[in-house]
Amino acid sequence: MSEANLFKITQNQLDEAAEKLNLDKATHELLRWPQREFTFTLPVKIDDGTTKIFHGFRIQYNSALGPTKGGVRWHPEETIDTVRALAAWMTWKCALVNIPLGGGKGGIICNPQKMSEREKECLARAYIRAIASHIGVHKDVPAPDVYTTPQIMAWMMDEYEAIVGESHPGMITGKPLSLGGSEGRGDATARGGVFTVREACKTLGVNSKGTFAIQGFGNAGQFAALLHPEILEGGKLIAVSDSKGGIYKESGINPRDIVDYKLKTGSVANFPGTSPISNKEIIELDVDVFYPAALENVITEKNAQNVKARIICELANGPTTPEADAILYAKGIHIIPDFLANAGGVTVSYFEQVQNTYNYYWTLEDVHKQLDDKMTTAYHSVYKMHKEKNVHMRLAAYMIAVSRVAEAVKLRGWVS
């Protein structure tokens, strides 16, 4: 499936929610499109002395609920349609967890794996110089995303502060702790997802000490492996996969050991004492909880009928196609949709903004408690809508998020 279709999927999902909500035509059409889009041409002097031209984007999808918020992705195949789709999802994600922010996203077409630290710094600063007048704590707040890091956020913050001549740590999140970053940001995406799994197990009567599997073993997948047994007070990890291979062990894999092995070798493949398993097979395992934490569109109409997990917690963005949603719902499989399941990241980014703004910082325990409260409340509001309206969980989440943004749009008088 092309990346262009990813934005079309977000629009189709919105259309379905708008119909259920009887949204008026003007509000519906407004919410289908980004409010503002920026494209940039960025000249950067690279290490061999030549100048290379990069292309970048920033999408501010909707600011009805507050300043837009969203990561900056660096990827060789980045497209504006990918960024549009993710900015839309950020809009619904912020609304769903009820934080006063809109949705945004940024990207640069580049391959950071082939760039030196100096080249990355120059590119980060060039991006901020291009966009500085359009961002800020009361306008649009960037954050890390694919292939961007706390160090890159630090360079971006420094460039912005040099331009405006003031200290503004809240203009960007995901910063190093020593520059105003928040405790608890590193594992926030996975932690938030596991909190919703805990609530789903309680609500549905699924064995919280049962089996689980993870597809994708980057930041979110690794932390999910570690946090699932801690937060659910049990659970047996039986399969893990990444882009280079997968492993399976019926008697269970020690989460700490496999994380250490991945960090040491760069892959989970060939972990001692396990059998190989393909990414296709891991999706169809008979487990209590399955975490897709890799790419979009991995559960489709072609394999959805074979999925056996009781609960699917979508830590990745867009891992399930709309066609697969319908099949899984009919099978009685409980999906915790991506923009609920992975909302922990933006929630703790919001906490970072809050701490920066009033210059007082919370303890790790405070961050975990506030995140738990936000994710638990959001999960139960979606579950309640799902039961009351007899719709699948993704549509229920959309209905809550879209109704909140639509109300703000109307109260502001953007549509009549």
Band (pLDDT 50/70/90 cuts) for residue 96 is: very high
The CATH code of domain 35-176 reads 3.40.50.10860
Band (pLDDT 50/70/90 cuts) for residue 416 is: confident
Distances (CA, A) of 169 to 106, 131, 158, 370: 19, 16, 9, 21
CA 248 from centre of chain: 26
Assess whether pLDDT exceeds 80 at residue 3.
no
Residues 6-25: pLDDT tens digits?
A: 899 899 999 999 999 999 99
CA angle centred on 51, ends 48 and 53, rounded to 5°:
130
Architecture category of domain 188-341 in CATH: 3-Layer(aba) Sandwich (3.40)
Residues 154-198: pLDDT tens digits?
A: 999 999 999 999 999 999 999 999 999 999 999 999 999 999 999
Instruction: Confirm whether 35-176 and 188-341 share one CATH topology.
Output: yes
Q: What is the pLDDT of residue 295?
A: 82
Residues 130-156: pLDDT tens digits?
A: 999 999 999 999 999 989 999 999 999
Sheet containing strand 51-62, edge to edge, reads: 36-45, 51-62, 102-109, 68-75, 140-144
Q: What is the pLDDT of residue 133?
A: 96
Tell me the mean pLDDT in the region 49-73: 97
Assess whether pLDDT exceeds 90 at residue 296.
no
For tokens 């920026």, name the residue: 38
Assess whether pLDDT exceeds 60 at residue 311.
yes
Tell me the mean pLDDT in the region 329-355: 96
Domain assignments of the chain as residue spans, ordered by start: 35-176, 188-341
105 is catalytic: yes
Of 69, 93, 105, 249, the catalytic one is 105
Report the SS3 class of residue 395. Answer: helix
- What sections of 44-187 are H helices per DSSP? 80-96, 117-131, 150-164
Tell me the mean pLDDT in the region 232-252: 96
Assess whether pLDDT exceeds 90 at residue 5.
no
Which own/partner contact pairs does 35-40 have at CB distance under 8 Å and 24+ positions apart? 35/60, 35/61, 35/62, 35/63, 36/60, 36/134, 37/80, 37/84, 38/130, 38/131, 38/134, 39/80, 40/127, 40/130, 40/131
Structure token digits, residue 201: 């197990």
Tell me the mean pLDDT in the region 361-386: 98
Q: What is the pLDDT of residue 322?
A: 87
Q: What is the pLDDT of residue 171?
A: 97
Assess whether pLDDT exceeds 60 at residue 329.
yes
φ/ψ of 395, rounded to 5, equals -65, -40
CA nearest to 197, candidates 320, 324, 288 = 288
Assess whether pLDDT exceeds 80 at residue 304.
yes
Indicate the average pLDDT of the chain. Answer: 95
Does pTM surpass 0.85?
yes
